[in-house]
Structure 1
Amino acid sequence: MSATPSILFVILKKNIGSTSGAQMTRLIRKNFIKKTFITALSTILVTAGSLYARKDEKQAGTGTELKVYVSIPPLAYFVERIGANHVSVETLIDAGNDPHTYEPTPRKMMALAQTDVYFSTGMPFEKQLLDKIRGSNPRLVIIETDKGIEKSAASGINKQNNIKGNKKGPGHGERGSDPHIWLSPYLIKIQAKNILRGLAKLDPENSGSYEKNYRYFIRDLDIVHEEINKSLGPYSGRSFMVYHPAFGHFADAYGLVQIAIEIKGRDPSSKQLETVIKQSAELDINTIFIEPQFDRKNAQVVADSINAKVISLDPLRKNVLENLEVIAEAIETSF
């Protein structure tokens, strides 16, 4: 670096003519600073380019991400936990929307036409939607995460299934087709296994990574499940009231009974509402749980009649493990 001013001086001496000594010194300093800045900038750009190239090499080594679409946020959580950095996940139904009345936007339909794989969970709207998508994207792979799960019917009163210790899980009772399977740890395990198999088949090169992520996820799920069992175990057989019967699988998993105000997807009649009010009073219900996607009006009518409070409980929160804990705590507090 010390030799640089001398070199510059020789170069400048040929062109300075009658320039004074003081002027020449300032000119040398100005050119030296300019050259130093350019050299530093060049070094930064070369370094940045090298880092970017290494990043590209790393990404190329792991392969292209699978473009994945799922129906609801909880399913996105499962796929992200197992797929990790090998998948890019988009969700059809955004937070706050009601999956029972969902209609995909044109933008979502266009995105689905370009995606690689769709993980379904058995929501009612999915069959008709997927029939449309197949026409515009025949290469789309559809993986049914609910495969092997017998869903129970979303009737008003969910009878308790004797599933304590049943590692295959509940869902073989009288309820028909309750799609909220992501709220039972037993059924989550089946979904997770289906996701693992689907990803490993589509991307065998990274099957080892998927298997490892799956094991970590199941470990975390077991920890949460054990904690909830401890907290809700003393309340086995107790009833809790909801507006929409979304928590039947959760109730089955922990030996509880769900009582719903809504009847077969419809608001109750005046007579049915009277029956619900009478039943809730007999069971000493002090809390009614309602999803944020539903109108609170009928739930509030029942709550006012029995001096109960209405609490929002969202089954569609993305982080399912955290949400299971939230649901458990809310129900335990209501007893």
Structure 2
Amino acid sequence: MKQIQLGTSQVQTGEVGLGCMRMDSLSAKDARHVIDTALDVGITLFDHADIYGKGNSERVFASAIKDTPSLREKMIVQSKCGIRKGFFDFSKEHIITSVEESLKRLEMDYLDVLLLHRPDALMEPEEVAEAFTRLKEDGKVAYFGVSNQHPGQMELLKAYVREPLLINQVQLSVMHTPMIDASFNVNMYNREAINRDLGIMEYSRLHNMTIQAWSPFQYGMIEGTFMGNEDFPNLNKTLQELADKKGVTDSAIAIAWLLRLPLSVQPIVGTMNTSRLKDISKASEVELTREEWYELYRSAGNELP
């Protein structure tokens, strides 16, 4: 698998990351099989959050690798914090406590990356800065980023935090393209012209941030997958035609569509199926032409102005 650099750091990792939200449903043995498969195909970033499985996804991950401590050196372990029951919390106390609790569940000394998990309207950036500085100085977090934030929110944070923000994890797939739609429909009255994120894609390119694409096979937020879905016949037909042409699966084509974007993008896939994980990893070998990329975009129901 091809490697990318995370943001402005020197950290190198596979183009695709593994989301561990569903790992709480696995036994330690099965989770180890998933982890080993991921590493074998070149996936080295493992994405967690304090809320995944109410913390059990991190516990299962720890149990899975417990007998092989050397695996930790081959991994980029990332977690997120900030979502609480009924509210968001970027207070200094909560950030630090969440990291400490994640480290206990993961049975690790440090996180490679910590992301703030959803914007907190009550955020005091000074508190975030204090939390980041303390976690960095204590050796508990090496790098930082955000999730689901627009450029104004990131600029506010950057005015206070000393550590660079390497990553913004946002929803992005061929069926979820508001950041791309707006770039085509500049100065128009149609729905697609609405700039819903203040230019995340352009901001990321200008500031050398990595976009981590969550739910790369989903439509809507929780409605389900578009892969093989009879509600999206044109898209699935095009995905399969390109899969046959390139000698990979339709899942690999859906990921290759994201990787074709001219910026640092890392899809985060959440499958716990090892066969599918192997298939997805082949996206790194696929080169989509400009014509093929636009064909997929249009087949997802998008119209060019």
Query: TM-score scaled to structure 2, two decimals?
Result: 0.30
More helix by share: 1
Query: TM-score scaled to structure 1, two decimals?
Result: 0.28
More strand by share: 2
From the CA coordinates, give the structure whose radius of gyration is larger: 1
